[in-house]
């Protein structure tokens, strides 16, 4: 059974964090922003797979394969595209409304490539 019952449903950042955090997360938080954005700041524990690569046919990182996906970008536009693309490939994927901008604005942690406090680029 799908973790995300309704096709096209968007998660709030709080729902996304609840489903992708903790010791035994239900889903993988998949960040589809570009490398420079990822390095500047991303959610702890997220997996990186830029939309440009996915659109070009790149495979998901091994840690995301076969798992439900919660897809995030900066504002929510690219993540919608990525979730649709991945669903078309058979993945169980939904996106996060408002993206990393909403994630940070809600006070959820953001780390840079070194694990220090990050920023949304």
Annotated active-site residue in 11, 73, 82, 93: 73
d(CA 5, CA 36): 33
Mean of the per-residue pLDDT values of the chain: 93
pLDDT digits (tens, 9 = 90+) for 24-59: 999 999 999 999 999 999 999 999 999 999 999 999
pLDDT digits (tens, 9 = 90+) for 67-120: 999 999 999 999 999 999 999 999 999 999 999 999 999 999 999 999 999 999
Q: How many CA atoms lie within 13 A of 50 on its CB side?
A: 9
3 is known as an active-site residue? no
DSSP conformational letter for 118: -
Residues near 55 by Cβ (< 8 Å), separated by ≥ 6?
A: 81, 85
d(CA 55, CA 81): 9
């Amino acid at each position: 059974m799908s973790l995300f019952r309704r096709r096209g449903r968007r998660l709030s950042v709080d729902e996304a964090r609840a489903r992708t955090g903790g010791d035994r997360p239900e889903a993988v938080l998949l960040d589809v922003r570009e490398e420079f954005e990822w390095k500047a700041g991303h959610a702890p524990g997220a997996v990186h797979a830029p939309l440009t690569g996915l659109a070009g046919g790149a495979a998901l990182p091994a840690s995301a394969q076969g798992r439900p996906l919660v897809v995030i970008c900066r504002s929510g536009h690219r993540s919608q595209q990525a979730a649709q693309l991945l669903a078309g490939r058979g993945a169980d994927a939904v996106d996060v409304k408002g993206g990393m901008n909403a994630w940070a604005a809600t006070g959820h942690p953001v780390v840079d490539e070194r694990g220090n406090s990050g920023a949304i680029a």
